[in-house]
Copies of this chain bind each other. A is one copy, B any other.
Amino acid sequence: MAAGGQGGIRPVRWHRNTLVVIDQTRLPQEYVERTLRSVEDVAEAINRLRVRGAPLIGITAAYGVALAASLAPEPTAIRAAIDQLRATRPTARDLFAALDRMERAATHNPADPARVLLDEALAIHAADLTAGRLIATQAAQVFTTPGWTMTICNTGALATGGEGTALGLIAAGYRLGLVSGVYVLETRPILQGARLTAWELQQLDIPFQLLPDSAAASLIATGRVAAIATGADRIARNGDTANKVGTRMLAELADRHQVPFHIVAPRTTFDAATPSGAAIPIEQRAGVEVMVFNGQPVAPDGTTVYNPAFDVTDAGLIGSYVTDAGVFAPNELEDSRIWN
């Protein structure tokens, strides 16, 4: 079984034919594990953001297929589980990369699918942990100007198999003395920055300041932001990148103020089949996420909401892509090692 990740956090683990996840909607107030016993449970956990983060939803979905096979090893049931999980969320490439891989494993090894598919899910999880560790080794190459790094959403242990992408890189930079602290955007509407990244940084004892997303512009304008590093949900063949809504804002501001802007992602996020950002499906989520807060309405009834979960940052705004296969400038993106 895959070991615990950064800070001892294990966002997902296989335990006696069930899947145990941290219910991330309850953090930071409560640390609650949730046992998923069916594909329906897994689909619900992904759709309701109990597990979130592109690499983690890929891993969790893979385990979901293994869970389905352990309950009903017939090919049609496995196929139905894959289809159900594929429909949970549209944007993150890692989800489809993991499910494609599970589908290939089921097809190529029809005997003992329960064992084969669990092995494949564990391998996907292990590969993500390795990818996270490799990403972290790039810190010295990325953080060439010491100072505070800005980030959005959560890209730490909780977004992955346990090692993180951008936040893992930033933590490695901190341990090297190249990152002094982290400016954390709260990340409306779900507040993954305030709820999850702040919590992880406290566990790691790394200094940070939390800010409303709208305060990023004035902070960047002061010159106090040495670098910006974010994760990604899907990187198209031309380098256009879908990530948490607000990423494009940061990239545009970074470009104006000449702050290095890094996209940090494992190879599972790179999608050779999507030519450009225009072809990335952007999930529109329910308005209630913006209008209601902790059960209390904050906008009047009948309000129409624009609530895209992601936005697309043009490749031209991205300074580098930090991956488990190395750090790539935009003009090096052709490198075949990245694409899957």
**Interface residues, chain A, with chain B CB atoms under 8 Å away:** 28-29, 152, 183, 185-189, 191, 194-195, 198-199, 202, 207-219, 221, 245-246, 248-249, 252-253, 256, 287, 290-291, 293-294, 296-300, 302-308, 311-312
State which of B210, B217, B248, B306 has its C-beta within 8 Å of the C-beta of A210. Answer: B306
Cα–Cα, bound, A198→B187 (Å): 21
Question: What are 12 inter-chain pairs, A to B, with CB distance below 8 A?
Answer: A29-B296, A152-B214, A186-B298, A189-B212, A194-B298, A202-B303, A209-B305, A209-B306, A210-B291, A214-B249, A217-B248, A294-B296
CB distance from A33 to the nearest CB of B (A): 18
Neighbouring B residues of A214 by C-beta, 8 Å? 152, 185, 187-188, 213-214, 245-246, 249
- Inter-chain CA distance A305–B296, complex, in Å, is 23
- Min CB distance A35 to B, Å, is 25
Chain B residues within an 8 Å CB radius of A294: 293-294, 296
With A217-B252, A300-B199 as contacts: A245 and B212 at CB distance below 8 Å: yes
State the copy count for this chain. Answer: 2
A188 to B, closest residue via Cβ: B212
Starting from the known contacts A188-B214, A198-B299, A252-B256, 12 additional A-B residue pairs (CB-CB under 8 Å) come to A28-B297, A29-B296, A209-B305, A210-B291, A211-B305, A211-B306, A214-B249, A216-B249, A217-B252, A218-B312, A293-B293, A294-B296
Option from B209, B296, B312 in Cβ contact (under 8 Å) with A304: B209
B29 to A302, Cβ gap below 8 A? no
Of the candidates A29, A216, A253, A306, the one having the most CB atoms from chain B within 10 angstroms of its own CB is A306
Instruction: Report the minimal beta-carbon distance from A208 to chain B, rounded to whole angstroms.
Output: 7
Cβ distance A232 to chain B, nearest Cβ, rounded Å: 15
A300 touches which of B198, B213, B248 (Cβ 8 Å): B198
Nearest first, the 4 closest Cβ-Cβ pairs linking A and B are A214-B246, A218-B311, A217-B249, A213-B214
Instruction: For residue A178, give the distance in angstroms from its CB to the closest CB of chain B.
Output: 21
Smallest CB–CB gap between A189 and chain B, Å? Answer: 5
A306 surroundings in chain B (CB, below 8 A): 183, 209-211, 215, 219
- In the complex, A216→B308 CA distance in Å? 11
| Chain B residues with CB below 8 A from A219, complex form | 306
Contact of A191 among B183, B298, B304 (CB under 8 A): B298
Q: Are the C-beta atoms of A221 and B248 separated by less than 8 Å? A: yes
Known interface pairs A198-B299, A253-B252, A303-B210; A311-B215 also in contact (CB < 8 Å)? yes
Taken together as a complex, chains A and B put the C-alpha atoms of A210 and B305 apart, in Å, by 5
